[in-house]
Structure 1
Amino acid sequence: MSEHPRERAIRSFVLRTGRMTVGQERAYEQHWAEWGLEHAAGALDIDASFGRAGERILEIGFGMGDSLLEMARAAPASNFIGVEVHRPGVGRLFHNMAAANVDNIRVYCHDAVEVLRDCIPDGALDTVQIYFPDPWHKKRHHKRRLIQLAFVEL
């Protein structure tokens, strides 16, 4: 055993993998190459990802994507980046984007802390939206809260 065991990162979420419907899975597979963003790719050139310049809005934890889709439909000149760890939510968003012919959203299916730290350049965003972050009520879980000074400084 090594002298310095690898530290496990504290997560602000618990990944509960629900089943994806056939439609969600199909949309995820069909559209990931077009709308998905890979954390492993490193720093993101936002304008190149969208093929244009525009207001840059990041939403963390979009759930099933309904509000993100409506905001994107209402502001077609803006560029939205969603971050969500729940694959069924990403699949549903992709399905609804295709049905609504919306193309101004890109998605990371990854931990938001790591995405902000590794992929989003400093000063690259105009707006960051976080609705209803997990509260983590118990004192021993406070370290898991997303909204903390270290996160805000990212």
Structure 2
Amino acid sequence: MKEYHLNVDGQDFVLSLKSLSGDRAEVEIDGKQYSVEIHSIRQMKSHERHPSTSSQSGASKPVAHPPSTPAMSGSVSADSVSAPIPGGILEIYVKVGETVTAGQDLLKMEAMKMENRITAPRAGNIAKLHVKAGDPVSQGQVLVELE
């Protein structure tokens, strides 16, 4: 689990990244749990800066943003799910031919000492499983195909 010490407009927060899987992250901010949907991830160049929130009016609230990592980009397509980062498969929750819903857990993988739930990007049927429990996987490797 990674822990980040943040200062937002002069207020300190501790953010713990509990899990990161596809387009979802589970985080804890100062002891309160949040489920975060990730809309996009982009690797910023060192000379780019995030916009300042100090000039905005009203009280600011902390917003949990998972750390940018290029490993997550391109990990899911409409018809397949790929490993977002290198790791190992811990459990498989589905079988070939099974019908799944969008967001349903497909498998659990361990990466960087964290367990990550890999979920279905859309509803469909499991066409092919490319891995089994115990398999090592590399970034971008196709894990599951949907039809």
Q: TM bucket by the smaller chain? A: under 0.3
When the two structures are superposed, what TM-score results if normalisation uses the length of structure 2? 0.25
Structure showing the higher strand proportion among its residues: 2
When the two structures are superposed, what TM-score results if normalisation uses the length of structure 1? 0.24
1 or 2 for the larger relative contact order (CA 8 Å, sep ≥6)?
1
- Structure number with greater Rg is 2
Structure showing the higher helix proportion among its residues: 1
